[in-house]
């Protein structure tokens, strides 16, 4: 995957070029808009922190909808309906693999939660300038991982 | 004949706002539920059942689920709108999402009041 990205980045189409405009054209000899090279930096590591936070917010949101909602509803239904099922699910969730998956989803929820609070604050113009927006994005990404780790330790 | 794709009906702002209102509802429920799990964790099945079928957490949880499903609807609709260029496919996915969310809501009521 990294190789593909690197390859794409080295292709002229993707490489960074500044487009210094040539002499301004007068409207009389206007040609069809010329093809400008596009530059996509496909390396996520070069994405500014707010961008990374944003795409993680979207990915975690989709995962929470596609997987977590039906799974949790199913588990809630099972555990509420009889004591036997409750004990069974308690045993299932005590399994190390289940705990790892659970911690993964706790991270997804926590990231979505914290990033969402950051967006709510941005909506009311708290921390809207570039410097604080970038540092709050870094803080939220870090807090998501640290929080998930701590909850994981507590669960284990 | 009006040739217009069934998009852009000016419900953007309303949905944007509702996405935030539902988010606040979910924040409150999440903090409340996390506090409950930390400070008075349910001991065994009877406690667990009592917690969700009691008249306190039960309506709150349904409110949370309703907020969650509406929030998920806006988020998923945004994702389909951003990435699925074919109108037919996008509407199919949007409709499936909406139906699934309605199903989840009915299922939630059945779970909590079943």
User: Are the Cβ atoms of A69 and B76 closer than 8 angstroms?
Assistant: no
Reply yes or no on whether the pLDDT at A20 is more than 50. no
The pLDDT value recorded for residue B8 is 60
Instruction: Output the six-digit token pair for A12.
Output: 């002229």
| 114 residues of chain B, pLDDT tens digit each | 556 555 566 777 888 999 999 999 999 999 999 999 999 899 999 999 999 998 889 999 999 999 999 999 999 999 999 999 999 999 999 999 999 999 999 999 999 998
Tens-digit pLDDT profile for residues A141-150: 999 999 999 9
3-state secondary structure of B29: helix
Check if the beta carbon of residue A143 is closer than 8 Å to that of residue A117.
no
Q: What share of chain B is helix, strand, coil (3-state, %, to 5)?
A: 80, 0, 20
How do residues A71-130 score in pLDDT, each as one tens digit?
A: 999 999 999 999 999 999 999 999 999 999 999 999 999 999 999 999 999 999 999 999
Statement: residue A21 has pLDDT above 60: no
For chains A and B, count residue pairs whose Cβ atoms are closer than 8 Å. Answer: 51
CB contact under 8 A, B68 and A117: no
What integer pLDDT is reported at residue A30 of this predicted model?
A: 57
Nearest to A73 among B45, B72, B108 (CB): B108
Give the pLDDT band of residue A12 (cuts 50, 70, 90): very low
Contacts of B52 in chain A (CB under 8 A): 76, 80
d(C-alpha A130, C-alpha A119), whole Å: 14
Return the pLDDT at A121: 96
Q: CA-to-CA distance for B80 and A14, rounded, in angstroms?
A: 26
Query: Is residue A3 very low, low, confident or very high in pLDDT (cuts 50, 70, 90)?
Result: low
For tokens 């109108």, what's the residue?
B87
Residue A128 backbone zone (phi > 0: left; psi -120 to 50: alpha; other: beta): alpha
The shortest CB-CB distance from A120 to any of B23, B44, B49 is to: B23
**What does the pLDDT average to over A19-33?**
54
Distance, CA of B16 to CA of A26 (rounded, Å): 43
pLDDT confidence of residue A16? 41
Question: What whole-number distance in Å separates Cα of residue A113 and Cα of residue A144?
Answer: 9
How many residues belong to chain A? 156
Asked if B75 lies within 8 A of A76 by C-beta distance, the reply is: no
Supply the mean pLDDT for chain A.
84
Whether A73 sits inside 8 A of B104 (CB atoms) is yes
Indicate which of B39, B107, B113, B114 best probes the interface with A, i.e. most A CBs within 10 Å of its own CB. B107
Tens digit of pLDDT for each residue in A29-59? 556 677 888 777 777 778 889 999 999 999 9
């Amino acid at each position: 995957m990294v190789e593909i990205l690197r390859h794409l980045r080295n292709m002229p189409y993707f490489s960074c070029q500044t487009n210094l405009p040539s002499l301004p054209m007068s409207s009389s000899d206007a040609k069809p808009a010329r093809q400008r090279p596009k530059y996509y930096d496909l390396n996520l590591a070069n994405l500014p922190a707010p961008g990374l936070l944003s795409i993680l917010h979207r990915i975690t949101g989709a995962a929470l909808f596609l997987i977590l909602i039906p799974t949790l509803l199913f588990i809630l239904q099972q555990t509420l309906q009889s004591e036997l099922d409750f004990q069974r699910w308690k045993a299932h969730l005590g399994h190390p693999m289940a705990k790892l998956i659970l911690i993964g989803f706790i991270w997804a929820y926590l990231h979505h939660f914290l990033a969402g609070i950051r967006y709510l604050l941005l909506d009311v113009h708290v921390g809207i300038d570039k410097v604080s927006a970038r540092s709050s994005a870094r803080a939220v990404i870090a807090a998501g991982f640290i929080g998930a780790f701590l909850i994981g330790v507590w669960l284990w | 004949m009006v040739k217009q794709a069934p998009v852009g009906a000016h419900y953007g702002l309303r949905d944007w706002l509702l996405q935030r209102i539902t988010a606040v509802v979910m924040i409150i429920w999440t903090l409340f539920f996390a506090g409950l799990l930390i400070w008075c964790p349910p001991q065994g099945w009877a406690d667990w059942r009592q917690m969700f079928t009691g008249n306190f957490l039960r309506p709150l949880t349904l409110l949370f689920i309703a907020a969650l499903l509406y929030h998920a609807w806006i988020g998923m609709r945004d994702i389909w709108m951003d990435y699925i260029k074919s109108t037919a496919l996008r509407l199919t996915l949007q409709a499936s999402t909406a139906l699934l969310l309605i199903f989840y809501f009915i299922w939630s009521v059945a779970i909590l009041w079943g």
